[in-house]
Structure 1
Amino acid sequence: MKKDLQMLRASRSGVDLLEYQTTLKSRLTLSGVGVHTGTAVSIHFSPADSDTGIVFRRVDKGASGQLIRALAAEVGATDLCTGLGNPEGDHVATVEHLMAALSAMGVDNVAIEIDGPEVPIMDGSAAVFVEAFRRTGIVQLSEKRRYIRVVKPVRIDIGKSWAEFLPYDGTRFEIDIDFDSPAIGRQFFAVDLSPEIFAREVAHARTFGFIKDVERLWAAGYALGSSLENSVVIGEDHNVINMDGLRYPDEFVRHKMLDAVGDLALAGARFIGCFSSYRGGHRVNAAALRHLLTDHSAFEIVEATRRERGRRPEMIAVNAPVYAPWMI
């Protein structure tokens, strides 16, 4: 399998590039419940200027609510979800599905107001967010978009898990999971990411869990809003107990890919390279991203520049400012 993957990587001829940053066309509101808190929450998305990035503000905190930037440096928790900010103060939890949808659908700048501590889980996937962004519309701004291009391999190992970034002419994810449960087992899924592929092949994959873990999670304050409406649940007999079954035969690994797309979106810019992981999760994803961004010899900041009308954009290295969203 590894040789086949290397051949596929080598055969890739290019990456679809956008020259300019984007934002949403108009304001958008969604409502739901937090999968861990179980509380009702509304989330409001507003268009934002170039170089704003993705920023959250807890409106339930009133005037004291601080802006929380969707960046790796703001990651405060990786237990069962990815949280931003100070868990003891202003924070927003379970951002990964939303961040995956924003990143994969090409939305660079959004101001997000949320009236609770957790992004609503919706149906447990990113599909509701994807459809909402498509319905609202995405518009181009005047400033150039920057990318993080991986120029040398970077790898981390945590116990039996590992993750690595490799140079690659595209944005590729290769996710390998391995569970003891026969309902999941070992599954592998890989794609070159684009808005169309994400919407069709990844966005509908739901979060999942085991019914044997429910009481332990409740006692720890997690999964209070989890249900068969927003989670794939594996029963004591190792079968999926949801009446509608799975959306994909390998929905479990596709959801792990969805999580990885969202976690890596916290780089603050899209990456050009290949991300691979084995037995990964939020903690591994966050550690791998931090390892990449702290090794300035492993990446360069580039812009897509079209030298002639009608020709494919080229990637041109640029001098990054002293402070930039992707810096730790």
Structure 2
Amino acid sequence: MRKAEFETITLEEARAHRRQRAGAPACPQMTLAAPVALEGVGLHSGHAIHMTLHPAGADFGIVFRRTDLDGGEAATDIRARYDQVGDTMLSTAIRNEAGASISTVEHLMAALATLGVDNAFIEIDGPEIPVMDGSSQVFVEAIEAAGLKALAAPRHAIRILKPVIVEDGLKRAALLPGEGFTLAFEIEFENPVIGHEVIEADFHAQDFRESILSARTFGLLKDVEAMWKAGLGLGGTLENTVVVDGDRVLNEEGLRFDDEFVRHKVLDAVGDLALAGAPFIGRYEGLRAGHAMNNRVLRALFADSSAYEIVELGAPATEAQHKAAIPAE
């Protein structure tokens, strides 16, 4: 409740709100209200890919099924978890013990995490998530159109209790204690268009979807051409990738934000961190970090049981929190 609204609320309404908060049930887990069908090209293969997101029950998590493969669940199902990450070269790829994999999961995972989708069963007929427009925007819009459904099970979060930091040369990723969930990112490129960019984002802010999840993936033209020669990035176009050549952005429409590059790095971090399996209470900081560093900090976190705790979301607020939210009687 915003401070501006305090003046219009009556004392009886305040008391009723307090009683409601004190007896409020736990925040429920969420799934999709209806299936969501999407299709597009794979960023690296260039092949057409069809994908359907299905509702799933409580505590199911996010599970992908490769419908183009045979061999039953053990061969085709891939759980979206940090310990299933097998490759972080150009995107985040997860794989099962049978070797089946799904790459470029981070943009979809960012959309699911931001919308609060805890459980979904995803059928896909190829080895990578379709790139769509290079951001999470299309996924967000499709999921919102289908709607969400609350499940009869409480939602949990991972509360960071002490700093967990991984470093590799100039790269750094950290998970730190804090309230809510904030993300800070800093990038440094020699390219004059990208250069040095810094951002701080509040995951729970109303404009997070628009300001972060619509930022597109990007690359330098010389790197894109090298990928093409290596048989990668075959689905990349100016429709789904911001391409920079020297001091020019080659996309006719230009950038969606002046600092779209660092915003997309935050998007990637949200998607990579979603592989923890639950939302965070704390703070993430990335310095020149990428998919590999994001996965490393998750592995470091879960390797130290004293660095985190699992808490139930939506538990009754403390008296101090009530006083902060309700005008004095």
Give the TM-score range, shorter chain. Answer: 0.7 to 0.9
Give 1:86 deviation, angstroms.
Answer: 5.3
* 1:243-290, Cα deviation, whole Å (9 max, x unpaired): 000001100000000000000000011111000010011011111111
* 2:221 maps to 1:221: no
1:127 and 2:113 equivalent? Answer: no
C-alpha separation between the residues in 1 aligned to 2:140 and 2:183?
Answer: 19
Kindly provide the amino acid, as one letter, of the partner of residue 189 in structure 1: I
Map 1:1-328 → 2, pairs under 5 A: 19-64=27-72, 65-85=75-95, 89-194=99-204, 196-235=206-245, 237-307=246-316
- 1:60-118 CA-to-partner distances (Å, cap 9, x unmatched) read 11454421000001001000100000598310000000000000110000000000000
Amino acid at match of 1:254: R
Q: Deviations over 1:24-60 (max 9, x none)?
A: 0001100000001111000001000000000000001
* Separation (CA, whole Å) in 2 of partners of 1:158 and 1:225: 31
Kindly provide the CA deviation profile for residues 111-142 of structure 1, in whole angstroms up to 9, marking residues without a partner as x. 00000000000000000000011100011100
> Retained in 1: the 8 A contact 2:175–2:284?
yes
Matched with 1:325 is none
Q: Which moved more, 1:283-292 or 1:87-96?
A: 87-96
1:6 equivalent in structure 2: none
- 2:165 aligns to what SS in structure 1? strand
Q: CA deviation at 1:196?
A: 3.2
Distance 1:268 1:294 in 2: 15
CA distance in 1, matches of 2:170, 2:264: 20
Which letter does structure 1 place at the counterpart of 2:114? A
Superposition RMSD in Å: 2.1
- The structure number with the bigger radius of gyration is 2
What is the one-letter code of the residue matched to 2:296? A
Alpha-carbon distance between aligned partners in 2 of 1:175 and 1:48, rounded to the nearest angstrom? 33
Give CA deviations for 1:269-323 in whole Å, capped at 9, x if unaligned.
1111000010011011111111111111100010024438xx979xxxxxxxxxx
Give the structure 2 partner of residue 321 of structure 1. Answer: none
**Cα separation, 2, equivalents of 1:54 and 1:283:** 21
| Cα distance change on mapping 1:69 and 1:87 into 2, 3 Å | closer
Does the CA contact (< 8 Å) of 2:134 and 2:240 recur in 1? yes
Give the aligned length.
Answer: 296
Structure 2, gaps ≥5 residues long: 1-24, 323-329
Name the CA distance, whole Å, in 1 between partners of 2:299 and 2:68.
Answer: 30
- What secondary structure sits across from 1:283 in the alignment? helix
Change in CA separation of 1:88 and 1:123 when aligned onto 2, cut-off 3 Å: farther
The answer to whether the Cα contact below 8 Å between 1:306 and 1:312 also exists between their aligned partners in 2 is no
- The separation in 2 between residues aligned to 1:66 and 1:170, in whole angstroms, is 36
What TM-score does the superposition give when structure 2 sets the normalisation length? 0.86
Give the Å deviation of 1:203.
Answer: 1.1
Distance 1:86 1:68, change over 3 A: closer
Identity between Structure 1 and Structure 2 (%): 48
Alpha carbons of structure 1 residues 88 and 250: separation in structure 2 relative to 1, 3 Å:
farther
Matched residue SS, 1:60: coil
Structure 1 alignment gaps of length 5 or more: 1-16, 314-328
Contact 1:147 1:302 (8 Å CA) reproduced: yes
Which residue number corresponds to residue 326 of structure 1? none
Aligned equivalents of 1:238 and 1:30: distance in 2? 35
1:286 counterpart letter in structure 2: N
Output the amino acid matched with 1:47.
P
List 4+ stretches of structure 1 deviating above 6 A. none
The separation in 1 between residues aligned to 2:243 and 2:158, in whole angstroms, is 37
